[in-house]
Structure 1
């Protein structure tokens, strides 16, 4: 079987149920979903649809109440948090709407952080971080703290950080939500280049329908259920 035909992420009958006093609330209701290596996926849904809960399952940030989540063929549904953290650290790069940079660290140190968590040699980590900051156009901002950077620059630092361990998957939660449209387009074009040139699996969670032009697969979610999965060709013009 061709590698691209093997699901990189595979969710089967996934439920996430929260106990709220005596009331149970199902944020996900029997979700079946697979994502292949190298796909550009947009998970689209309104506020309260369950898309953030779904992102947490895909990103190994949480485990399901019922059902199974597999990553690279391994069932991760019942792993301890320490094991999930190791998988996240090696496999998934996260990009968040509010950047989530450490305010007391400069750009270089923020990008080095995931490598330090993986106990990479300090010199190797610094070299990798410097290369990535140059790639995202911030070679002259390495010593700047997040407070000294614009929103777009902070998001580029966050992208560099997400790439530091060379992850298979980039998982972005509303990556343009805090940016102006021009800067947002720049960020999305950069993610698209990573997808096309490095075969990165890109997963964007958003409510913004403008982002679907970048996707090969659009997953529509509402009320904790997959409404529709749309396959299409990109339309970037």
Structure 2
């Protein structure tokens, strides 16, 4: 089992779904974890309570990733609690699928603010605190390359994240900070179910996935934990599809 003992991780959007899966995995492998939530305080507190404090410390911080002051406070709290940051996971994201005719400037701004601008400025803020030799993992989406109809905003925002990862993996290499990305396929999460992933929709999705099942948050968490670990110390600039073979 990979060990992250002695490391400190910051995870954005960690209260539920993929983010909560990542928080659980990093903590179980020994990392102290500070994660953000925006509105779901109950889910955040529940996640903290379920973690084993004898293995690692997990702390929830209310923060809007599009707010520079919130992000500054987030890193100050993380460093104040644990003295350093070794791992950053940019997971917070929003989505809505719309035909081009229904696209509005407000919706473009909403998705790009969280999916694109936030990771850039979260990383910028983190660089004042993250250790040389640290690991940054961005959570993207296979939508960036699948480009299905009605996804012009979301697909283009996640394609921008692909670019962020490729550029910063080179730019931060002199500090031996590795920048990689996990692009999930269809994942069963609370958000997906609220957005309409019924059992019927899930069955239709599974028919397009070579490994013939829907993804789970732990599938993404497992790859994220590997990229965060020293086992991946010669891997940077990679965008890894974790999608059951869907493309």
Q: TM over 0.5, yes or no?
A: no
Greater helix share, 1 or 2? 2
Greater strand share, 1 or 2? 1
The structure showing larger relative contact order (alpha-carbon pairs under 8 Å, at least 6 residues apart) is: 1
User: Which of the five TM-score ranges fits, normalised by the shorter chain?
Assistant: 0.3 to 0.5
Given the two structures, how large is their TM-score scaled by the length of structure 2?
Answer: 0.34
